[in-house]
Amino acid sequence: MTSTTPILVIGATGKIGSRVIARLEQQNIPARGASRRSNPAFDWENPSTWAPALAGAEVAFVAFVPDIAVPGAPETISAFAAEALAAGVKRVVMLSGRGEANAQRSEQIMAGSGLGTTIVRASWFNQNFSEGILLPAVLSGLVALPAGQHGEPFVDADDIADVAVAALTDISHVGEIYEVTGPRLLTFAEAAAAISAASGHEVAYAPISLEEFHAALLPDVGPDIAEFLTRLCEEVFDGRNEKLGDGVQRALGRQPRDFAHYCADTAATGAWSQKA
């Protein structure tokens, strides 16, 4: 641990940020969460909130919302990096997206900003099936996505948080890009079957077209978000992520958590026993 000030966790209420700050607190490492609901608040869409939130921080975890793949993310990251430098921040650990063009541009901007940078590059979280966007679909018994039959190296949010905390608390990780994945590739059909086996609740996967996906999203999220999510799926579900990374192994010296273990643990919590 090289910082003498609390570690700033930007995105402290998200899937990864909440786990990062919990781990820091469990290790008795001073940490301060920043989000739209914190005091001072941090809002990516309101740059006037950045400086007050950054004040006094030397090390920061950075999770961009709504997604680092959105149009305009690289420009926002560039402005944020300049603000962080001016505030006295020395190191950042940035959560990034695997196989996403805007995410990679943002990584390059951050790495070239003068801040000591560690990139944690992830794709689909296991927890999307239990804590996020896919939970309603799992509870309904049908996960419909334009993912075809490509394999996805689903990665556990707990592993991502462990890698982030290692990088936040040890300067030796500066300059590293950690591609974090699970230990094997699964199709969404295989993931649905694993959830079914663990939960006792039948879940199927239906590969749909991008057009069908867009049409299904429109009533719930509106045209802008529907278009973004459709284009993101087109980008990342073309097979480019159909390979394993070694980020967990390199950062932590252990193997990543397997999807089957995640399913067993999640089923035990009752998260998949609700009715849709």
pLDDT of residue 267: 97
DSSP state of 257: P
Strand partners, 61: 9, 93
d(CA 272, CA 276): 10
Q: Show the domains of the chain with their CATH numbers.
A: 7-124+155-181+243-257 (3.40.50.720)
pLDDT of residue 220: 82
pLDDT of residue 274: 67
| Chain CA centroid to CA 184, Å | 18
Helix (H, G, I), strand (E, B), or coil: what is residue 271?
coil
| E strands, 139-273, in order | 142-145, 177-179, 204-207
How many angstroms separate the Cα of 149 from the Cα of each of 115, 165, 216, 238, 239? 40, 34, 20, 10, 9
Q: What are the average pLDDT values for consecutive 10-residue runs of the chain, which has 276 residues?
A: 82 96 97 96 98 98 92 96 98 95 95 98 94 90 93 97 98 98 97 97 95 89 87 86 96 98 97 74
